[in-house]
Structure 1
Amino acid sequence: MNAAVLVEQALQALAAGLLVGCVYGLLCVGLAFIFGIMRVINFAQGDFMMVGMYLAFWLATHVLGNGMFGAATPFVAAALTVPVLFAAGAALHRLLIARTTGLRAAGLSAEGHQAQLILTLGMALVLQNGGLLLLGSSPYSIVTPLSSSAWELPLLYDDFSAVFVNHARAIAAVLSLAVAFGLFRLVGSTRLGKSLRAAADNPEAATYMGIDVDRAHRIAFAIGTAVAGLAGGFIVTYYPVQPFVGVDFIIIMYAGVVLGGMGSITGAFWGGMVIGLVQQLSTLVLPLQLQNAAIFAAFVLILLFRPQGLFGRNVERA
């Protein structure tokens, strides 16, 4: 294999890694809202993404399938999952999560973390087996011309070499960047963001300042759930959904959040970006089955030299 082919393959993997990494970054941002603000290890986050994937598939094929939105139909369907998942996240927090978090957790053993682990794991199992019972194990994905078409970017050093950028992945990446930036602005520049940061830093002091910590946590959990559903809607345009797909992605989410720095939403996005790049670039030297092994190898190496993550613990904690 000559050098030109190696360069072309490396650039193709780099382009794919950047596109996938943006969506992974959005997934990690959704988890960071829950983990960074509420200090809840949510094992059901990948399954919220799975619900978003199924919901986006159903909306695109059965509700919006009349061609009204044309090629944009999958992304309109993904956007429509946001209010549904936001309402579901708020309801789950009010009914279940709130009993093991916030000020209520102060008197519980290990500040409620044991109960949180069991509760979110139970939610994940209910969603997985409920999906299997209701929808079966057959994989589904949104059939769209965008998924099978790409922009061709010719390489200047060779008339026959080019990098192909998949339309569906590129649009999903751009939308993921826009949503992530909006969430950064929400946390950093709004009154709601200040209340979320205060509730994350010191719930008891935030209460004395007149902030409803329980409401702040409910909003954070609802936003995190909605973001997972939205990212799932993007992913189903090029990755099939089945009831246990969340298991594969929850590993990526937590690896990205830890890599970026505990409690940092900005760091979570860049952590997801690193995961996407490592995953795609590893295919140059490793078989597809070892992609996750490459992710964990990079994870260990980065934390070995920078245990606090890419952005460290001194970064803004919400």
Structure 2
Amino acid sequence: MLVHLENFLQALSAGIFIGGLYGLMCVGLGMIFGVMRVINFGQGDLMMVGMYCAYYLFGIVGIGQFFGADLGSILAALAAGPIMYLVGLLLHRLLIRQVTGVKVASLEGEGHYAQLILTLGLALILSNGGLLLFGSTPVSIKTSLSSSAWELGPLFGTNISVFLNKARGVALIIALAVAIGLYLFINRSHVGKSLRAAADNPEAATYMGIDVDKAHRVAFGVGTAITAVAGGLVATYYPFQPYVGLEFVIVMYAGVVLGGLGSIVGAFWGGMIIGLVQQLSTLVLPTQLQNTAIFIVFLLIVFLRPQGLFGVSVTRA
């Protein structure tokens, strides 16, 4: 009995830690979809570029040597955000703006077809281009945090102990801080309010003097940066290669849909739920069936609440 309890607590803690990072990834994608209504298949590969950004900032640029491995890994992950923000702005100006905006919003299905093809092509270019530039050998940001853990215990007057990986724990704290910062930015700042207006009704926002194209560009840049930071944090404990984006993009979409399309808070909790289900499912299922458990829960929630946990059923004008 105590063994089962210890395994449950260990899986629960791992699910919370991993779910927090999944949540931050989902927030980045949710930001883009919520404001622009763009289904971005390239989000996972943009995260991959952010991971390599953090990796090279840590190693070649020397952040790891200057600040030390532990603090340097965190700073490298955070520094990848502004760099990928600029990449997101550039991609929007050159490519994404051609298939988004007020004109495309009125096309409904026809507009989304172009978005799907463009973002899928972007994903293929990034992943295969990454293979040419970075090679296929898995790499990671090696620190003492990833190979050490905090011990909680003994618990409940027994010899039960729970071990919390330090790299994942620090990553969870940063993920929560970034998600809260984004929430405050969206709801309290002038720019955030313009983003919400552009998301709710692009044409009306234009009549009110809001530059919808600029709002979309900022949303795409911020969404790219947020996911890149999440990727940089994952890189501190998870080996990655140029095709790693494919492993996470499905998780991102599942989390965004679970939380409710257009809801930043919902996207975070959708990612958290996926992390918990993924880890807790290992108590009763083989590791190979983790993703199966995720999508069983996904289908159940979508069946019972199609708008997602935090979404609302509305008819958009």
Q: Deviations over 1:224-254 (max 9, x none)?
A: 0111111000000111111111101000000
- TM-superposed CA distance for 1:69, in Å, is 3.6
**Cα displacement (A) at 1:202:** 0.5
Measured after TM superposition, the shift of residue 80 of structure 1 is: 1.0
In structure 2, what is the Cα distance between the partners aligned to 1:234 and 1:289? Answer: 24
Question: Could you tell me which residue of structure 2 aligns to residue 197 of structure 1?
Answer: 196
Counterpart residue number, 1:56: 54
For residue 267 of structure 1, what is the amino acid of its counterpart?
Answer: G
The DSSP-based 3-state class of the residue aligned with 2:38 is coil
Partner of 1:34 in structure 2? 32
Q: Matched residues in 2 for 1:306 and 1:183: separation? A: 26
Instruction: Give the 5 Å matches for 1:1-318.
Output: 3-63=1-61, 64-106=63-105, 108=107, 110-157=109-156, 159-313=158-312
SS in 1 for 2:150: strand
Opposite residue 119 of structure 2, the aligned amino acid is T
Question: What does the per-residue CA deviation read over 1:248-286, in whole Å, with 9 as the maximum and x for residues that have no partner?
Answer: 100000000000011101110000000000001011111
8 Å CA contact retained: 1:30, 1:224: yes
1:236 counterpart letter in structure 2: A
SS at match of 1:62: coil
| Residue identity opposite 2:304 in structure 1 | F
TM-score normalised over the length of structure 1: 0.96
Residue 288 of structure 1 and its aligned partner are, at CA, apart by 1.4
Paired letter, 1:175 = I
User: Is the 1:258–1:271 Cα contact (8 Å) retained in structure 2?
Assistant: yes
Contact between 1:50 and 1:232, CA under 8 Å: does it hold in 2? yes
Residues 215, 20 of structure 1: alpha-carbon distance in 2 compared, 3 angstrom cutoff: same
Code of the aligned partner of 1:280: Q
Please give the per-residue CA displacement for 1:86-113, whole angstroms capped at 9, x wherever unaligned: 0000010011000110123146572511
Amino acid aligned to 2:152: L
Identity of aligned residues (%): 61
8 A contact 1:263–1:313 mirrored in 2: no
1:21-73 CA distance string (max 9 Å, x none): 11111000000110111000000000011111111111112222324344211
State the distance in 2 between where 1:92 and 1:179 align: 23
Structure-2 separation of matches of 1:155 and 1:91: 52
Check conservation: 1:259, 1:299, Cα contact below 8 A.
Answer: yes
Answer whether contact 1:79 1:230 (CA < 8 A) is retained: yes
- The alignment's C-alpha RMSD in Å is 1.5
For 1:251, the aligned partner's letter is I
Unaligned runs of 5+ in 2: none
User: How many Å apart are 1:136 and its aligned residue?
Assistant: 1.1
Q: Which moved more, 1:201-210 or 1:284-293?
A: 284-293
Which segment is superposed worse, 166-175 or 109-118? 109-118
Kindly provide the amino acid, as one letter, of the partner of residue 53 in structure 2.
Answer: L
Q: Is the 8 A contact 1:38 1:217 kept in 2?
A: yes
Return 5+ residue gaps in structure 1 as ranges: none
Q: Separation in 2 of the partners of 1:253 and 1:274?
A: 12
Give the conservation status (yes or no) of the 8 Å contact 2:64–2:73.
no
- Partners of 1:34 and 1:106 in 2: how far apart? 14
